[in-house]
Amino acid sequence: MKKLIILLLLTVILNPYSVFANEKWQEEYDYVTPSENKETYICETFQESGIPIELVADKNGNSIFGPLVGYIKFTPFTGIYKYEDENSKESLLDENGETIFGPLPGCINFTDSPDIYIYSENNNYSILDGKGNVITNLSEKYDNINFVDKISGYDAYRIGLTSFIHGIIDINGNIILPIEYDSINYEFVNGLMEVSPRHKDNEPYKYGFIDENFKIVIPPEYDEFLVCGDTTYACKKTDESFSYYKIENKTPVFYKTLTDYFAANLYENNENSDNYIELISIKPTYGKTFGRYGLADKDLNTLIEPKYDTPIQFYNNYAIIQYGSTEVKYGGKGYDDVYNGKYGVIDKKGNEVIKPVYDNIVYLENMADIKDGRFILSKDGKKEIVSLEEEINYPECSDWAKDNIVYGGWLNIIPDEINSDFSEKITRGEFCKLAVKTYLKCITHEKDENLEDLSIQTYCDKEKIDISSNPFKDTKDESIILANKLGIVSGKGDGLFCPDDTITRQEAAVMIINMADAIDYTVDADKSVQFSDKSYFASWAKESIYKVINFKGRADVPVMVGTEKNKFSPWYSYSREQAITTMTRFYDVYYWNF
């Protein structure tokens, strides 16, 4: 505790700008969280107690307020912060860190207005004004409240009880819509809000709609509803058909009946210019679950007959589809299920512009910046880059390496130092940079494929790896040090690593198998292969060579292959383009097996 008090006093007494003296001020903290507009930052320093010390700084690192013991959080409102102290009590703070109201022992919940808050404490709920004054104590009016939230844009609140019934009340707790519904949507769409009344066990749910005056305008007698742009559909279904009613002037008007398909999710492409409705076949083309997905326009006209294995979603003018699956393998770790069908690409007219014959297809760009018609196609362990509309600018390299280098760039595993002159021999230091970026890419994928690539420092902090302890005298490169800590590389004796020395093929084989060991991937040696130059294998490399040629992906293509005339050529040098190709294959093996 004395240490904590001294730290707080020193931070306050000393010049608050002094801790941000260097240009990389964010590195002074264990964790830095930017606001949405990146004008302010919450800076966090961990403590052994588990409760951090936090302060708010501007974009230049100048302290605005703090430090405070506990958690500071951004809110939906500019200049208002939520603060949870070391005793788990919550307050609202203004832009200067002054208390607006609190501390309170319960939870302060936000609405769409900085003048209204919902406060909960031990299942007791109140509505507060912007100064923390109680407007209405809802728990004096209702027992066993489970939740309360404000309907955005309206002076009305959804309320749910622990008996799983819901209703709508005003700010004073007066009933607007009786508390007798199984569910109430959280927003109005096209001037209507979906509600579902109480139902009996073993009976289907039914749905109706209320208008913006919270009056029932469409009785709850429909089985489903669907919103597509400015059109809302209600659906009545039987064992054989789905009858759709278009809601016009808050009145359901029969529109059409579908007997082979039903309309499911709405998809919008990333230009928000076209609306599509996912069609799902009631009677699959084959199997029990495959060949079910097609597409309709916003008027429920069929555009693409249901025959594909996964939902169709366009990005700009194209959609990746899968066809011909007969089984499913659950992806695990939060990933989508993996089907065994082949991949292709269709345009908005349903034309298969790339036939479904590939093992995998991905967009060449990140999802946020997809250009029309640029894809990476995988088949039999080989990568092919295609563009349906624009010519791709390939790097200057060997023809066999072009697609792998473009793929490596897409994976973001190619260090700047080797992103040119691809036929040059790769050095030990360069190989370490490439290997570590690939390793971190694999680790990122294992934890969450949506995460940004881990940095070396972030990874080392999380895994408690000390890269400040350097075993080498001739390099301070953190990639080399980390590769050594992971067991991927070793030195050459006398504290030397020799980062500028080139590597041989057998050295590359050893490093690759060491990488596999580092990610807990077991590779068996295949000693049935009879290399004509096996007498030249170094004793320390022999086992790794027989393993690396058996280190194979989905299409039985090794991560590293031999050379001509049944040789491995262990003493030949390894080029940058060879190393990049090896690492893209390494990542693919990891991706498809983890």
pLDDT tens sequence across 133-190: 999 999 999 999 999 999 999 999 999 999 999 999 999 999 999 999 999 999 998 8
Q: What's the pLDDT score for residue 554?
A: 63
**Would the pLDDT of 445 be above 70?**
no
pLDDT grade, residue 1 (50/70/90)? very low
Type and span of the H or E element at 391: none
Whether 373 and 317 have beta carbons less than 8 Å apart is answered as yes
| φ, ψ at 332 (rounded to 5°) | 70, 170
On whether both 354 and 453 belong to a single domain, the answer is no
**Would the pLDDT of 348 be above 60?**
yes
Does the residue 246 lie in any domain?
Answer: no
Does the residue 206 lie in any domain?
Answer: no
On whether both 464 and 528 belong to a single domain, the answer is yes
On whether both 44 and 100 belong to a single domain, the answer is yes
On whether both 343 and 427 belong to a single domain, the answer is no
Does the residue 172 lie in any domain?
Answer: no
Mean pLDDT across 422-444: 92
- Lowest-confidence region among 253-267, 271-285, 310-324: 271-285
On whether both 555 and 423 belong to a single domain, the answer is yes
Q: What's the pLDDT score for residue 391?
A: 72
On whether both 546 and 439 belong to a single domain, the answer is yes
Q: What's the pLDDT score for residue 289?
A: 64
- In total, how many domains does the chain have? 3
Mean pLDDT across 481-503: 94
Q: What's the pLDDT score for residue 502?
A: 95
Which of 393, 408, 432 delimits the end of a domain?
393
pLDDT grade, residue 363 (50/70/90)? confident
Q: In the 8-state DSSP scheme, what is residue 523? A: -
Q: What angle do CA 419, 424, 427 make, to 5 degrees?
A: 85
What integer best gives the mean pLDDT of the chain? Answer: 85
Tokens representing residue 279 in the block: 């069609």
pLDDT grade, residue 365 (50/70/90)? low
Which residue pairs from 366-370 have beta carbons closer than 8 angstroms and sit at least 24 positions apart in sequence? 367/315, 370/270, 370/315, 370/316
Mean pLDDT across 113-131: 96
| φ, ψ at 6 (rounded to 5°) | -60, -40
On whether both 426 and 530 belong to a single domain, the answer is yes
Q: What's the pLDDT score for residue 283?
A: 64
Range(s) of the domain holding residue 97: 1-105
On whether both 1 and 98 belong to a single domain, the answer is yes
Which of 105, 131, 164 delimits the end of a domain?
105
As a whole number of angstroms, the longest Cα–Cα distance in the chain is 90
Tokens representing residue 257 in the block: 């009946």
Does the residue 17 lie in any domain?
Answer: yes
On whether both 431 and 354 belong to a single domain, the answer is no
**Would the pLDDT of 201 be above 70?**
yes
Does the residue 73 lie in any domain?
Answer: yes
- Lowest-confidence region among 131-145, 392-406, 468-482, 571-585: 392-406
HSE at residue 580, side-chain half, CA atoms within 13 A, is: 32
**Would the pLDDT of 12 be above 80?**
no
Q: What's the pLDDT score for residue 269?
A: 45
Which of 393, 408, 442 delimits the end of a domain?
393
On whether both 502 and 549 belong to a single domain, the answer is yes
Predicted TM-score (pTM) above 0.75: no
Q: What's the pLDDT score for residue 368?
A: 46
Whether 331 and 310 have beta carbons less than 8 Å apart is answered as no
Q: In what order do the strands lie in the sheet with 360-363?
A: 360-363, 374-379, 382-387
Tokens representing residue 1 in the block: 């505790």
Choose among 285, 296, 365: nearest CA to 323.
285
On whether both 351 and 489 belong to a single domain, the answer is no
Q: What's the pLDDT score for residue 367?
A: 45
Q: What's the pLDDT score for residue 15?
A: 38
On whether both 358 and 498 belong to a single domain, the answer is no
Does the residue 123 lie in any domain?
Answer: no
Does the residue 162 lie in any domain?
Answer: no
SS3 62: coil
pLDDT grade, residue 331 (50/70/90)? low
Q: Where is pLDDT greater, at 330 or 130?
A: 130
Does the residue 128 lie in any domain?
Answer: no
